[in-house]
Homo-oligomer: A and B are copies of this chain.
Amino acid sequence: VKLGKSVVVAMAAVALVASSALAADMSDLRNEALDHFAPLPSTPVFKEGNRPNDAKITLGRMLFFDARLSKSNVFSCNSCHNLGTGGVDNNSFSTGHRWQVGGRNAPTVFNASLHIAQFWDGRAADVEAQAVGPELNPVEMGATEALIMERLASIPAYVKLFSDAFPEQRKPLRYENVGAAIGAFERTLLTPSAFDAYLNGNESALSGKEKKGLAAFMNVGCVNCHNGVAVGGNSYQVFGAVNQPENLADKGRFDVTGKEEDLHVFKVPSLRNIELTYPYFNDGSVWELEKAVKIMGWTQLGEKLSDKQIDEIVAFLGSLTGVAESYDLPTLPPSTAKTPRPDRN
């Protein structure tokens, strides 16, 4: 094909105009996104009254991985909130003490500190408060405060770490501080992703398809609930706002408040790393992200999303994945003759 010079120049001009129009569109998209979302903070946000120090983060990481926080010594926090698999265990319900099974899908610990509250029903105010719960749950780790504290007090390295982590306290070896240390560690578990790079100004951090997905995510209305720094995690909503879901056995936040208006109300999950944190929903009943998006469109928005919309939205959701290639599995201090032994019963 041969083209005259003037034609080539004209085409180049058209291309330029189109390209700058596209750039304007894209910049508009980013501006619109910035109305709804915020990039992850560049450093962890710690809790007032739970100031971090190296010993506290080290202690929190060790406790997170220490199965001596369970009665049987079989389960650690990481068993169900596995840092190697998006901070979850990829099971519908987690397996606990004596092979018992939980009633809600284990949420991810990654970025959890940015949520308004913890657990599906928001019954814990923050990660520090959440982190003292599962140890004592008979179907999860099956331990008692007394057992855990007797174990920790019997291990010199832990005694020293508690002292170093809470230098302002006269009696640092307290169960509450187990939560404070684990919580402080969990606040470091932030996963900046391509979407953050995009929000921070790198237009090419998202592909064309991901941008279309972002646009659809906002236009369709997903963003009404999944917004903010965690793309969710910052409000409570009723499951089945428009159309009823298949399974409504779980009463959600009603169990916490006893208020009729909280029936089937759940904390909106964060969508960060969502492609890793299957299966989906409070009951872990849906294994494909495409299907989860489709159901959400119908139950929450009354929208029958097209396959193309779903495909693009899922592409966008992929840009929220930001876990590291690996995490530190710390070597734990050994037990001593005084350490209460594991009990599988």
Contacts and interface: CB of A to CB of B under 8 A. Distances in A.
Given A328-B329, A331-B326, A335-B90, A344 B95 contact: yes
A342 B328 CA distance: 26
A331 B325 contact: yes
A330 B95 contact: no
Contacts of A288: 337
A330 B278 CA distance: 18
Interface stretch (A66-74, A125-133, A238-246, A297-305): A66-74
A292 interface: no
A16 to B, nearest CB: 39
Contact of A84 (B73, B99, B275, B329): B329
A91 B326 contact: no
A72 B334 CA distance: 29
Given A98-B99, A99-B344, A335-B278, A325 B329 contact: no
A92 to B, nearest CB: 8
A278 B334 CA distance: 9
A326 B330 contact: yes
Interface string A71-101: 0111000010011111001110001001101
| Number of identical protomers | 2
A193 to B, nearest CB: 13
A168 to B, nearest CB: 27
B84 A330 contact: yes
Contacts of A326: 328-331
Given A99-B344, A325-B331, A330-B326, A65 B89 contact: no
A91 B73 CA distance: 7
B341 A287 contact: yes
B95 A329 contact: no
A67 to B, nearest CB: 7
A285 to B, nearest CB: 11
Given A99-B99, A99-B344, A344-B99, A331 B287 contact: no
A334 B86 contact: yes
14 contacts: A67-B85, A67-B89, A72-B91, A73-B89, A74-B95, A83-B331, A84-B330, A85-B334, A98-B99, A276-B334, A323-B331, A325-B331, A327-B328, A327-B329
- By Cβ-Cβ distance, the 7 closest A-B pairs, closest first, are A99-B99, A329-B329, A326-B328, A327-B329, A326-B330, A74-B95, A84-B329
